[in-house]
């Protein structure tokens, strides 16, 4: 056996929600940095989708800690759907 893959039929919807959450998290983080720097965020000028399924060449990533096998790795119903995004904003000075 080389690999074990788990998937879900609603993956596209789950990925869309993960992307929305990734954008919201990136915006909150950027707002915090802007506030600390004494500037305001302007419009988004660049969006880069970092597809987590194509990062690296791992076929299966365990869900345990430390990269070692755990009892949860093959647990029924345990599928991770994630998203990552890089946003660039213009900034304005008050």
Q: What is the pLDDT of residue 68?
A: 57
Which segments within 51-94 are labelled E, that is strand? 84-92
Residues of the chain with pLDDT under 70: 52-77
Q: What predicted TM-score, i.e. pTM, was given to this entire model? A: 0.67
Alpha-carbon radius of gyration of the chain: 18
The distance of Cα 59 from the centroid of its chain, to the nearest Å, equals: 18
Numbers of helices and strands, H then E, in the chain: 1, 2
């Amino acid at each position: 056996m080389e690999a074990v893959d788990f998937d879900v039929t609603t993956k596209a919807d789950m990925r869309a929600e993960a992307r929305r959450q990734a954008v919201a998290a990136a915006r909150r983080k950027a707002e915090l940095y802007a506030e600390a720097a004494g500037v305001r965020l302007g419009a988004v000028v660049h969006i880069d989708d970092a597809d987590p399924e194509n990062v690296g060449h791992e076929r299966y990533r365990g869900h345990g800690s430390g990269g070692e096998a755990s009892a949860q790795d093959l647990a029924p119903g345990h599928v991770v759907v994630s998203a990552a995004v890089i946003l660039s904003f213009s900034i304005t000075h008050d």
